[in-house]
């Protein structure tokens, strides 16, 4: 059994101008974890949080129970900001933690899929439809992954508003029960929705999408076009450090027409640039 955890980063709103504080990219990411590895994966993530964020707990106990650390989420926005600070000590701390996060994913052979949408100023951005189509695309790649391994899988997405959850699950439902046959016959159920404070997989995919993919996408596709507070020089260093390792986490496959699918795909509304640039370091 394979478990796929899904979370979003950025927002689904329109970008009003080049200097707007609205997030310039939207990412829907998926991390695939073997169910047999999940117990150790969860404990390893808790140990990592204990080592780097010992005070981060949901209860005012100076000596919290180990398992209660799942109730504390590391703020990805703070982590991104820390990588760009003037203090070398704070930058090194953030990078050490991020390095261990990637090492954890590598050790447990976690696979990455993601859809990245780069917004253009003053252009329409159909956030609701984009979220739904992105989930369908991720599920299609997950289906291929499951077929290759001859296994079944379950998708666990970070919960949103009930109406949004229902629409996304129904979009998969219509594909599973269509007259032409089940498009996701390896998925045991429609996507289910969990709270990130209860799932190590959701916390991990949140870190990957928000702390790694978002800044890489911004420095690759938005610099030179936007002037908002989201454009930070430090993101180039972050990309240089982690682009290769994040790239190797991708699950990619060749379709029947010989085209590469899966992995991290990019829709660049600013200049229609290739997804290959995402992990290319000068």
Q: Which domains does the chain have, with CATH numbers?
A: 2-279 (3.30.420.10)
* Phi, psi torsion values for 281, nearest 5 degrees: -110, 130
Distance CA 137, CA 70 (A): 29
Q: Which residues pair with 113 in a beta bridge?
A: 30
Nearest to 8, CA basis, from 33, 31, 35, 28: 28
Distance CA 136, CA 113 (A): 12
pTM of the prediction? 0.93
Q: Which residues pair with 253 in a beta bridge?
A: 261
Look at residue 64 in the predicted model and tell me its pLDDT. Answer: 62
Distance CA 123, CA 244 (A): 32
The three-class DSSP label of residue 60 is: coil
* Phi, psi torsion values for 153, nearest 5 degrees: -150, 165
The three-class DSSP label of residue 158 is: strand
Dihedral angle over CA of 6, 59, 51, 33, nearest 10: -20
Task: Give the contacts of 280 (CB within 8 A, at least 6 positions apart).
Answer: 243
Distance CA 148, CA 254 (A): 12
Indicate the DSSP class of residue 251: -
The three-class DSSP label of residue 157 is: strand
For residue 205, the surrounding DSSP H or E stretch is helix 200-207
Per-10-residue mean pLDDT of the chain, 282 residues long, equals 96 94 96 97 93 58 70 80 84 92 98 98 92 95 97 94 84 88 92 93 96 96 94 93 97 89 96 95 85
Write down the number of H helices and E strands in the chain.
Answer: 8, 8
DSSP string, 87-99: -HHHHHHHHHHHH
């Amino acid at each position: 059994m394979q478990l796929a955890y899904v979370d979003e980063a950025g927002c689904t709103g329109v970008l009003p101008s080049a200097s707007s504080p609205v997030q310039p990219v939207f990412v829907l990411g998926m991390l695939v974890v073997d169910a047999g590895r999940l117990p150790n994966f969860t404990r390893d993530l808790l140990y990592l949080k204990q080592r780097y964020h010992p005070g981060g707990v949901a209860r005012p106990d100076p000596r919290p129970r180990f398992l209660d650390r799942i109730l504390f989420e590391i703020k990805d926005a703070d982590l991104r900001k820390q990588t760009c600070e003037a203090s070398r000590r704070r930058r090194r701390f953030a990078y050490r933690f991020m390095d261990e996060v990637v090492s954890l994913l590598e050790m447990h052979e976690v696979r990455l899929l993601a859809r990245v949408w780069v917004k253009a100023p003053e252009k329409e951005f159909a956030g609701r439809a984009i979220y739904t189509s992105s989930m369908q695309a991720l599920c299609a790649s997950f289906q291929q992954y499951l077929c290759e391994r001859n296994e079944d899988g379950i998708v666990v997405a970070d919960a949103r508003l009930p109406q949004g959850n229902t629409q996304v699950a129904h979009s998969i439902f219509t594909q599973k029960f269509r007259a032409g046959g089940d498009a996701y016959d390896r998925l045991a159920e429609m996507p289910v929705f969990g709270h990130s404070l209860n799932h190590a997989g959701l916390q991990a995919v949140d870190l990957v999408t928000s702390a790694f993919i978002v800044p890489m996408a911004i420095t690759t596709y938005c610099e030179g076009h936007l002037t908002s507070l989201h454009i930070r020089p430090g993101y180039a260093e972050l990309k240089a450090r982690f682009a290769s390792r994040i790239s190797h986490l991708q699950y990619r496959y060749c379709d029947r027409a010989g085209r590469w699918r899966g992995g991290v795909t990019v829709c660049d509304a600013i200049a229609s640039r290739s997804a290959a640039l995402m992990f290319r370091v000068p």
